[in-house]
Amino acid sequence: MNKLYLGDCLDVLRNEQEIKPESVDLIYIDPPFNSKRNYNVFFDDKDIQTQRMAFEDTWSLHSVGESLTELDTIQHDKILNLLNAYQDIAPQVFPYLVMMTLRIIELHKVLKPTGSFYLHCDPTASHYLKTVCDAVFGTKNFRNEVSWKRSGRRSSINRIYRRSHDIVFFYSKTDNYLFNLSYEAKNDTLLKKYTKKDEKGRYRLVPLMGSGTRNGETGKLWRGFDPNVRGKAGMHWLTVHDNLEKYVEQNLVEFPKKSTGVPQLKYYLDENKGVPFPDIWDDINLINSMGKEALGYPTQKPKALLERIIKASSNEGDIVLDAFCGCGTSIDAAESLNRKWIGIDIAPFAVSLIKRRLKDTYKDDLSKFEVRGTPTDEPSAIKLWEQNPFAFEDWWLTELEVFATTYGKKGADKGIDGIGQYAIPKVDKTIRVGFQVKGGKVQSKDIDALFGAISKHKYDMGVLLTRYKPTKPMLNSATQLGQFEAAYGFKYPKIQIMTLTEYFTGKQLSLPKDNITFKSASTIGKTGKQKGLF
Q: Where residue 283 falls among pLDDT bands split at 50, 70, 90?
A: confident
User: Of 16-20, 240-244, 305-309, 525-529, where does mean pLDDT reach its minimum?
Assistant: 525-529
d(CA 390, CA 457): 22
Per-residue confidence at 58, pLDDT binned at 50, 70, 90? very low
User: Same domain for 220 and 332?
Assistant: no
Average pLDDT over residues 479-500: 90
CB 453 within 8 A of CB 408: yes
Task: Read off the pLDDT band of 296 (50, 70, 90).
Answer: low
pLDDT at 197 > cutoff 80? yes
Distances (CA, A) of 302 to 147, 208, 308, 370, 454: 15, 43, 10, 25, 37
Residue 94 lies in a domain: no
Whether residue 163 is found in the same domain as residue 20:
yes
> Which residue has better confidence, 104 or 272?
104
**Residue 530, pLDDT score:** 34
State how many domains the chain has. Answer: 3
DSSP string, 251-272: T-EE--SSTTS--EEEEEGGG-
Dmax over CA atoms of the chain, in Å, equals: 108
User: For a pLDDT cut of 90, what percent of the chain falls above it?
Assistant: 46
pLDDT computed for residue 532 by the predictor: 31
Q: What's the CATH code of the domain at 470?
A: 3.40.1350.10
In a domain, 525, yes or no: no
193 and 151 within one domain: no
> Is residue 80 domain-resident?
no
Residues 467 and 414 in one domain: yes
Residue 521 lies in a domain: no
b or e along 101-120 (b: 16 or more beta carbons within 10 Å of the residue's beta carbon)? bbbbbbbbbbbbebbbbbbb
d(CA 3, CA 321) in angstroms, rounded, equals 10
Looking at the predicted structure, is the pLDDT value of residue 407 above 80?
A: no
Looking at the predicted structure, is the pLDDT value of residue 524 above 50? no
Say if residue 164 is in the same domain as residue 312: yes
Does residue 407 share a domain with residue 364? no
Residue 95 belongs to some domain of the structure: no
Q: Which range in 160-169, 263-272, 310-319, 484-493 is most confidently predicted, on average pLDDT?
A: 310-319
For residue range 426-466, list pLDDT tens digits in order.
777 788 999 999 999 999 999 999 999 999 988 999 999 99
pLDDT at position 123, please? 85
- Let me know whether 475 and 453 are in one domain: yes
H/E stretch holding 424 reads none
Please give the pLDDT value at position 250.
92
Please provide the DSSP assignment of 43-109 as one string: EE-SS-EEEEEEEEE---TTTTHHHHHHHHH---HHHHHHHHHHHHH-TTTHHHHHHHHHHHHHHHH
- Residues 421 and 363 reside in one and the same domain: no
Mean pLDDT of 58-81: 66
220-258 per-position pLDDT tens digit:
999 988 888 765 568 899 999 999 999 999 999 999 887
Q: What is the pLDDT of residue 342?
A: 98
Q: What is the pLDDT of residue 284?
A: 87
Q: Is residue 19 a contact partner of residue 35, using CB atoms and an 8 Å limit?
A: no
Confidence of residue 164 (pLDDT cuts 50, 70, 90): confident
- Last residue of some domain: 349, 372, 395? 372
State the pTM of this model: 0.74
Residues 255 and 302 in one domain: no
Which pLDDT value is given to residue 423? Answer: 87
- Maximum mean pLDDT: which of 10-14, 262-266, 288-292, 496-500: 496-500
Its domain, for residue 400, covers 378-515
